[in-house]
Amino acid sequence: MRKSTVILLICLLTILSGCSWLPGLFPGRKEQLPALPDDHQDSANALPEREVVIYYCGDEGAIPGSKHILRQHHDKLSFVTGFWYQIDRSDPTRLIPMWNSPEEEIKDTVRMAHDHGVKVEALFHNLLYGSSAISEQVVTHLLTDRRLSEQLAHNLVELAKRMEFDGINIDIEFVPPSMRHQFTAFVGTISRALRRENIRVSLSVPAKTGDDPWNGWSGGYDYAALGALVDRLMLMTYDEHGWASETDGPIASAGWVERVVQHAVREVPADKLILGIPAYGFRWTSGQKNPVYLDYVTAMGPVWRGEAVLRWDNEAQVPMYRYGGADGALHRVWFENASSSSWKLDIMQRYGLRGFALWRAGMEDPDFWRLVGQKMKAERDRNHK
């Protein structure tokens, strides 16, 4: 073969090996991802203190639960937010334990956390009824009668005392924009009742880059008014592309997260804000309407098996890949790893937010906790019981 032909072939292969649009050409090859900070720290005392929160869940089939994260990384945690209670759709003053968890099982988690100096708040929500329409019906029912709010507030105080919760997290979603003021009043009723008893109140809110009171997803949430009523406002800075997205894309691109934070700090003091960090991903498949929810290990499976090439999206600052399935379908996977989380934690630090909350613990890249230890210390209450 002539020398010029060999050189031409080498150049062609070099060009093709760098093409991000040829996902299966070099299976098993990984692009160079951004490096994490090294393990060396000049002084542990130089690390900033931040509130480190995990959303704590039980096992859900193939989706791992959170108990092992509390056991292994309690020294890096400030708060556990237990995804434990669903509003009863037939009686919105009543709370139903998730996964039919017995009280003693929840109490065991509370004791484990407290033994390690980690505080616990219980989350209640209006989700997982089978459709978003039912979720909206539940919140509409709750907001139309002030007596229901007052009774629920009373029940929450009793629950927190009985279970020794340090706080309550309100995760009410699908609030109709037309009920924006009623929702603010509802949060005020709940918050006043709990805070009178020295029970912390946090509120999880949809992410938004500006305040459009008639936006169908986020219009019902007045950041400024709500932030004044609670101890912490927890920004759900994820699902930029997610369950409802027919097109694939990043779960939380760095630019979008920063725009959400920029809006939030204009409305609420930064030391009340908690940044949501996603630990998961989605797989979109051609011919299917909705994506599949993935933890980190499942998301990395095709890469580890040599079926796909891991890419890094330099605009979104997240990992992703595409590959063809055995059935001929095209799979597109976007997810989060420690490198993408590093960008988000830097945004949290840069804007002086109080801390972050990981949704959901157990789904994350194991390297995430090494990253947290390199960037911050968990804020702890020295007067913790």
Report pLDDT for 381.
Answer: 81
Query: What are residue 214's phi and psi, to 5 degrees?
Result: -110, 10
The pair of structure tokens assigned to 259 is: 């725009």
Q: Does 383 score more than 90 pLDDT?
A: no
- The answer to whether 362 and 57 have CB atoms below 8 angstroms apart is yes
- Give buried/exposed letters for 182-199 (b at 16+ CB in 10 A, else e): bbbbbbbbbbebbbeeeb
Residue 350 CA from chain centroid, whole number: 19
Q: Does 2 score more than 50 pLDDT?
A: no
The pair of structure tokens assigned to 210 is: 């500006």
Going by the DSSP 8-state scheme, the letter that residue 42 receives in this structure is: S
Per-residue pLDDT of 85-103, as tens digits, reads 999 999 999 999 998 889 9
For residue 281, the cross-strand partners are 294
Confidence of residue 326 (pLDDT cuts 50, 70, 90): confident
Measured N-to-C along each axis, helices 180-196 and 146-163 cross at an angle, to the nearest 10 degrees, of: 40
With a CB cutoff of 8 Å and minimum separation 6, the contacts of 275 are 235, 237, 257, 261, 344, 347, 348, 353, 355, 356, 357
Q: Does 321 score more than 70 pLDDT?
A: yes
Query: What are residue 82's phi and psi, to 5 degrees?
Result: -80, 120
Report pLDDT for 17.
Answer: 42
Average pLDDT, the chain: 91
Of residues 335 and 17, more confidently modeled? 335
Going by the DSSP 8-state scheme, the letter that residue 74 receives in this structure is: G
Q: What is the mean pLDDT of residues 135-140?
A: 99
Q: Does 69 score more than 50 pLDDT?
A: yes
Per-residue pLDDT of 230-279, as tens digits, reads 999 999 999 999 998 989 999 999 999 999 999 999 999 999 999 999 99
Q: Return the half-sphere exposure (C-beta side, CA atoms, 13 A cut-off) of residue 46.
A: 5
Report pLDDT for 5.
Answer: 46
Report pLDDT for 95.
Answer: 98
Report pLDDT for 9.
Answer: 45
Per-residue pLDDT of 5-55, as tens digits, reads 444 444 444 444 444 333 333 334 445 567 766 655 545 569 999 999 999
Cα dihedral 247, 251, 254, 260, rounded to 10, equals 100
Query: Where are the strands (E) in the chain, listed by range?
Result: 49-56, 79-87, 95-97, 119-125, 167-171, 200-206, 232-236, 273-278, 281-285, 292-294, 311-313, 318-324, 330-334, 355-359, 377-378
Query: What radius of gyration, in Å, describes the C-alpha atoms of the chain?
Result: 22
What's the pTM value of the predicted model, to 2 decimals?
A: 0.90
Which domains, ranges and CATH numbers included, belong to the chain?
A: 40-279+337-378 (3.20.20.80)
Report pLDDT for 99.
Answer: 85
Residue % of the chain over a pLDDT of 90: 84
Per-residue pLDDT of 216-235, as tens digits, reads 999 999 999 999 999 999 99
For residue 331, the cross-strand partners are 285, 323
Report pLDDT for 8.
Answer: 45
Report pLDDT for 327.
Answer: 86
> Active-site residue numbers?
173
Residue % of the chain over a pLDDT of 70: 88
Confidence of residue 376 (pLDDT cuts 50, 70, 90): very high
Distances (CA, A) of 328 to 104, 211, 286, 303: 49, 43, 9, 18
